[in-house]
Structure 1
Amino acid sequence: MDEQKSNCEENDSEPTDDSASAHQSISLQGSPRVSPAAADKSGSNTASSSTPECIRACALCNCVDRSLLGQRELRHFRSSSERPTNKPSAFPLPQPGNDDLSSIGFSDSSCLTALFDDSGCWVHHWCAVWSDGVKQTEDEELEDVDKAVISGTQRLCEYCKRLGASIQCHVEGCSRFYHFPCSAASGSFQSMKQLVLLCPEHIDKAEELGEEAWCAVCDSVGELTELLFCTGCGLHYHASCLEIGATPIQRAGWQCPECKVCQTCQPGEDSKMLVCDACDKGYHTFCLQPAMDSLPSDPWKCRRCRVCMECGVRGLMLPGSAQWFENYNMCEECQQHRSSVCCVCSKAANPSVGLQCCGICR
């Protein structure tokens, strides 16, 4: 049998205990924000288990500091005189997003006051810089970030339909707003030099930006909808020029070949970099748990991108030692069930009647 399987676990495919403790914060408004990693690693809610750690998350995209979606570092911005005075919500803040595009932003604006601490709010660098109304001073300080947060909690993202959107399409009269990760996932055009975003409806306007809209490989505009935006250097690449896809999960937080770093330890040892076949993000073989001795010859997926096509379980919900089959599309439990039950009558195998195995799908 030639099933593909892997026992790898990426220790930075999710916020780790170490990173959570490095950015631990006091719970806001009495409603602690629980790290998804703490929930995954706890195993079960027993009486002896300790209280999950609270971690800071962006007040716009709701992702943690070490996000994989290209927002850069989490920064603290002081509040102006227009700090929200709403009464605290009876509902707790949602758990910080786990870099899944479906968990970006907020579903309810009632948590506005809980997004601010005594002196201000926490926002990712790029989420703040790109936000509508934010000004940059001569000494490169950012102003009115808190105002962008207040406005963002009232705006739905055009892509994910959740609140917290603060980046508007540059075309006059266009009312589309996005979260920073969603702007890339939607296929919008982004100019890092001019901090200009053009939604998919107005992406043709990118040609007016000249060389900034050129692909770094073929030096031409080509098909604008196929351009990938590097969150590291700001250059654009046609997906076809790199022979990769252009799915939303690949676009969000994408790094070009020159900027790509390990999502666990950052720069270094590029020769031992594994690149996920689904999201195109890199991981060192020695940063995985357990570590790998060499680069695999078959396509490889990180834990975040493993989803069982039978039961729907995601890789992050299973221990790192769990085996995967069918190009990481079948979890170990479903594979065992498939090999012991007839696909026609759904009856289990017995000693008197053997099961025939398909040579293609097993």
Structure 2
Amino acid sequence: MHTMSEGTKKPAGSWEPGETCVLCAQADADPELYGRKLVISGINFHEFCAVFSGGLHQEAVTQKEGSHLVLLQIITIILQAQQTPCFVCGKRGATITCAESGCNRSFHFPCASKGECVTQYFGQFRSFCCNHRPLQPVEAVPAQDMICIICMEPMGNSRSYSTMVCPSCRHACFHRACIQRLVLRLGITLHCPHCRDKEELFHYMTAMGIYIPSRLVSHSWFFRHSSSSVDSAGPNTASQQGLGPLQGSAEQ
């Protein structure tokens, strides 16, 4: 995933000790989840804080090699965020807005998981609040007494943000946090231990907001799916289709 041109970024060493991301106010956040430390027009950002902040992402990905973001545009986005409350924590500074048409819910990138939001790390880098995030199929519910195949802890017997079921066999269950940690370690080699499926599981996880580092994604997969229906699907596609993993959003 190429999110910042070479002309708009500086190495992590450009951040002085104690300096923080202007969007999330954190300094030493997990680079696997927040991305690289960048300096854009003299302002500090975490890569994914910028990527999912609509205006900054659009400006960043359209820059030509060697060009720089207009400082005034960045300041405008930051000032707007200072007036926007996060629906999760209630504090201002929210720069991410739900992609569902008509929804004005905004949130901070670090609050996404706590608020049960989904951020999709591909295509248009869309984000969804807890009311409009992609849903697992109704039948993809952990059976009674099932355990997570990763941590071996109980799953519960209801569909929730924190529980996931293999879309292929519908038998292997895992916690969202567990599969995210495993993906960061294994990436594209990950497969369902029950049915051995790779492609459908990968397809499904990305739509559900699981982050897979770009270095682990093959070019053939990216070009096959980057222009798929997830970018053009209308509202509520997932609830209508039972979540075709790269086919849209929206819980009613």
TM category (shorter chain) comes to 0.3 to 0.5
Rg larger for: 1
TM-score after normalising by structure 2: 0.46
Q: Give the number of the structure whose residues are more often helix, by fraction.
A: 2
